[in-house]
Each structure stands twice: as structure tokens, then as C-alpha cells.
Amino acid sequence: MRTRFLWTVVLIAMIALVACQPGGGGGEAEPLKIAILAPLSGDVATFGQSTRDGALLAIEEWNAKGGVLGRQIEPIVEDSQCNAEAAVSAANKVINQDQVHFIIGEVCSSASIPISEVVMSKGNVLQISPTSTNPQVTVDENGNTKSMIFRACFIDPFQGKVAAKFALEELGAQTAAVFLDQGNDYVRGLAEFFRDSFEAGGGQVVVWETYTAEDQDFSAILTKVKDANPDILYLPDYYSTVNLIAAQAREMGITAILMGGDGWDSADLDREVTDGGYYTNHYSGDDPRPIVQEWVQKYKDKYGSEPDALATLAYDAANILLQAIEKAGTDDAVKVAETMAGMEFDVVSGHISFDEYHNPVKSAVILQVKDGEIHYIATVSP
């Protein structure tokens, strides 16, 4: 009886020990949770859908190879709506409820900045935004780098400078009108950087007008554009607003060349009213590099359409994050952030490294809307 009792005690202890291992009694490691925060509803829902799909494809590929650190990756997708309040709510949910330590997102700077504040208050969460281009995503109000925040895209100063240089040197523009939503960090920043670079290069901004996100009628400020007759009308907003302004501009007979930023990159951009316009972007599917062509084909195979820059940058952001976790050899977010800051990556949107502010050093492309198609025009390096 005593021997049987002792063996029973040993058996219970062994069962308890196994049950305490990651993954419970199955002996399998617990999955690594990664949150994808993107606007899946609202005015820029196509941005969020592309972002989600690109990140999920990267995660699917890693899982097919065995995951990261021997663990399968569990994506947790939340609709952050390109809205500060919704984004903060989504961030708190995935961090506090789902116990996530890695976030891919958001798309819009106006959402990524408040998410970054939540992340930095936690101390053990890492955020990488695929597409938020405002400098303050990764830098605080005192100019200090946010140690746990990264991005996969170039920033607005570079994008604004590229657009202004192209307008001056390639289009021969001497005058420009600029419209902006003063309440949108992304739009305001891009407008200001374009203006500063355009004027520094010898151009003149003859119309500078603001509007709100709720505006639908732009006739009053477009009248000023028609009277000034500038060479360029710079619209650094998202495609939904650009469609409205461009349509009204064409109805009024405004002939200025339209220009904008990566917010134009959507299947829902009205290519008729923006015909002849140019915009800066992060990549082109026409790039002949094998990594680009392989990416385009596998995205088409998976989703039945060509990937836009949102999908591409989300795919890149996920791969950057997972490569950093793998190299760090741990899921400790602080150590992963330290590792990521010193790495270089060959991803679809180019070869990148991070500068001291956690912004990637990389190239931009100029695209043109012409005859219902998007055409690659040029690549501009830093």
C-alpha cells in the first residue's frame, strides 16, 4: 500500500508539472499573439482591408514554416477605424484583454499616434505601423525617439520633398495651390512639408486653404484656385476626399495638374476625375525586382487582386517584426525592439535600415493616373 501510495503521489506531481508547461498537457508551446489594428470600416476601409490581408499573408507564410521561436503565430484583428478614440480602445483591448505584446498598425497617423502613447505607457509592448507617415508617430513632443515604436514607411518630410522636387523639376511648375484638413495629422503634415520644399525650390504657393473632414462642398475654396490658375493643385488627403475635391474641380473647369500623397493609393480612387494626376507612393507593382514580382503573384493567388501599397507595407511590417523576434531569440518586446533598431531588411518595398528615430531609410516612387490605369514614373532615393 505504501509503495502504491508513493507512485500515486509521483504520478500526480508529474501530471501537474506537464500541465504547467506552455500549451498545457499537450506539450506544445503557446501561440505568439500579434495584433493587427486597422480601419476595417469608415471612409478608408479599403486601407484597413488591404493592411489586414497583407499582414495575414505574412503570418500565414511564417506559420507554414513552423512559426517563430517554434511557436505558431495567432493574429488578433481589431477595427481601429482610423480614429483616435476607436484606436485607443482597440489598443487597450488587445493589450489588457488579449495580452498582446506586439502590434502591427495603425494605418492613419491620427490613430497611430494615440496608440503609440498607450504602447509607451505599458513599457513591454512593441508597435510597428505599416503606413503612418507623420514624424510624431515615432518621436515625442520633446523630439525624443519612442523606444518601442517603429514604422515600415518613409515619413512625410521625405514624401513632401519628393513631390515638390518632381513638380518643380519634372513638371516645370512655378505655382501651386494646397488644400488640407487641418484636423488630420497626416494631411496637415504632408501639406506643410510640400509647401516648405516647393517654396525653398523657388516655387510659390498662391492658394493655401483648409477644410474639415465633414465638408462635402468645396466650391468656395476651389473658386480661389480657379482665379489664381496655379500649375499644381496639391491634395494630400485620402482617396475618398480626393475624389470629391477632384470631381468638383473638374466641374469648375480647373486645369491645374493634381498631385497628392500615398493616401491616393486605393482601388476606390476615382481615376476619371484624377486623370493626369501624380502621387508619391511606397512601391510599384511594376518594379522588376524578383521579390516584388513574387509578392504580386502570391497576393493575386490568395486574394484575386493586385496588392496596393497598404497591403505591401503591412506584409513588410509583419516580416520585419517576425524577423526581429527570430533574431532576438525571445518574445520579450523590449529586447525585440533593441534588436530591430540595429537590423537591415530586404523587403518588398526595398532594402531598409532604421535611422535614430526608428524611421526606415528607403526610396519613394512617383505614380501617375492615366487612362484609367496607374503608371510607374520614377523612383526617388533618399
Does the pLDDT value for residue 239 go beyond 90? yes
Q: How far apart are CA 122 and CA 138, in angstroms?
A: 16
Mean pLDDT of 65-85: 97
Assess whether the region 32-153+287-362 and the region 157-281 belong to the same CATH fold.
yes
Residue 256: strand, helix, or coil: coil
Sequence-distant contacts of 249-255: CB under 8 A, at least 24 apart? 249/218, 249/222, 249/225, 249/273, 252/219, 252/222, 252/223, 252/226, 253/226, 254/222, 254/225, 254/226, 255/229
Q: Where are the alpha helices (DSSP H) in 156-238?
A: 156-169, 185-200, 219-228
Q: How far apart are CA 208 and CA 297, in angstroms?
A: 42
Does the pLDDT value for residue 5 go beyond 50? no
User: Any idea how long the chain is?
Assistant: 382
One DSSP character per residue, 315-371 reads HHHHHHHHHHHHHHTS--HHHHHHHHHT-EEEETTEEEEE-TTS-EE--EEEEEEET
Mean pLDDT of 112-123: 98
Alpha-carbon distances of 59 from 123, 195, 371, rounded to whole Å: 24, 39, 36
Q: What residue type is assigned to position 314 of the chain?
A: A
Q: How far apart are CA 199 and CA 194, in angstroms?
A: 8
Please report which confidence band the pLDDT of residue 287 belongs to, taking 50, 70 and 90 as the band edges: confident
At residue 207, φ and ψ (nearest 5 deg) are -140, 130
At residue 157, φ and ψ (nearest 5 deg) are -55, -40
Alpha-carbon distances of 51 from 17, 19, 155, 270, rounded to whole Å: 41, 37, 18, 20
Please report which confidence band the pLDDT of residue 13 belongs to, taking 50, 70 and 90 as the band edges: very low
Q: Tell me if the domain spanning 157-281 has CATH number 3.40.50.2300.
A: yes
Does the pLDDT value for residue 52 go beyond 90? yes
Per the model's pLDDT, the better-predicted residue between 301 and 380 turns out to be 301
Of 12-26, 57-71, 133-147, give the lowest mean pLDDT range.
12-26
pTM (predicted TM-score): 0.81
Please report which confidence band the pLDDT of residue 227 belongs to, taking 50, 70 and 90 as the band edges: very high
β-pair partners for 211: 181
β-pair partners for 145: 139
- Mean residue pLDDT across the chain: 92
- 301-351 pLDDT, tens per residue? 999 999 999 999 999 999 999 999 999 999 999 999 999 999 999 999 999
Please report which confidence band the pLDDT of residue 22 belongs to, taking 50, 70 and 90 as the band edges: very low
- 155-188 pLDDT, tens per residue? 988 999 999 999 999 999 999 999 999 999 889 9
At residue 183, φ and ψ (nearest 5 deg) are -90, 0
- 245-285 pLDDT, tens per residue? 999 999 999 999 999 999 999 989 999 999 999 999 999 99
End-to-end CA distance of the chain: give it in Å, rounded. Answer: 79
β-pair partners for 79: 38
Please report which confidence band the pLDDT of residue 382 belongs to, taking 50, 70 and 90 as the band edges: low
- Contact criterion met (CB below 8 Å) for 66 and 35: no
Q: What residue type is assigned to position 108 of the chain?
A: C
Share of the chain above pLDDT 70, in %: 93
- Contact criterion met (CB below 8 Å) for 43 and 86: no
Share of the chain above pLDDT 90, in %: 85
Does the pLDDT value for residue 9 go beyond 80? no
**Domains in the chain: boundaries:** 32-153+287-362, 157-281
User: What is the enclosing helix (H) or strand (E) of 373?
Assistant: strand 373-380
Please report which confidence band the pLDDT of residue 379 belongs to, taking 50, 70 and 90 as the band edges: confident
For residues 130-145, one letter each, b for 16 or more C-beta atoms within 10 angstroms of the residue's C-beta and e for the rest, the string is bbbbbbbbbbeeeeeb
Does the pLDDT value for residue 25 go beyond 50? no
Q: Tell me if the domain spanning 32-153+287-362 has CATH number 3.30.1330.60.
A: no
Q: How far apart are CA 221 and CA 259, in angstroms?
A: 17
